[in-house]
Structure 1
Amino acid sequence: MKLTWFTRKGIIYLPVSIIGWIILIIALAYAVFTFIDIDKRSHSVSDTLINFVFNLLLIGLVYTLIAFFTEKRPVPEIIER
């Protein structure tokens, strides 16, 4: 079974199915939750941003890995001689 949840536009993966949209919404919601949690425990703006950027990179990495393995790839054309 071929999974096609995302398609690639440049360096960005866009969802093309309902599962892809759900994954994107979960990633964004988790990023917001992480920011709020870090902001509660930090003492300065720079402390918040430094800790949030690392978590945002991890969330982006997981999203990109899921999208890479479930993207819609073009079918290579077979050239007959």
Structure 2
Amino acid sequence: MKLNWFTRKGIIYLPVSIIGWIILIIALAYTVFTFIDIDKRSHSVSDTLINFVFNLLLIGLVYTLIAYFTEKKPAPDLIKNK
């Protein structure tokens, strides 16, 4: 089964299908929710950022793993006979 939800542009995975866009929107919404939740319980800016960075890395890791396993692989180049 071919899953072509993302394509790779450099080190960034961009969505190319509706499911890919939904996953990206969910990841961004969860990131904002996490930041607001951490900010409510924090006492300073540094406390907020220290706790948020770890969660941001985890969200990015999950997004990257999903994108890696569902990316559209480029077609192999054909060998040209000279």
TM-score by length of 2: 0.93
| 1:37 partner amino acid | D
| 2:60 partner amino acid | G
| 1:24 partner amino acid | L
C-alpha distance in 2, partners of 1:61/1:71?
15
Moved more, 14-23 or 71-80: 71-80
Query: Is the partner of 1:27 in helix, strand or coil?
Result: helix
Identity of aligned residues (%): 89
Query: Is the partner of 1:14 in helix, strand or coil?
Result: strand
Partner of 1:30: 30
Partner of 1:18: 18
Question: Shift in Å at residue 78 of structure 1?
Answer: 5.1
| 1:17 partner amino acid | S
C-alpha distance in 2, partners of 1:10/1:77?
19
TM-score by length of 1: 0.94
| 2:27 partner amino acid | A
Q: How does 1:1-81 map to 2 (within 5 A)?
A: 1-77=1-77, 79=79
CA RMSD across the alignment = 1.3
Unaligned segments of structure 1, at least 5 residues: none
Query: Is the partner of 1:66 in helix, strand or coil?
Result: helix
Question: Shift in Å at residue 76 of structure 1?
Answer: 1.7
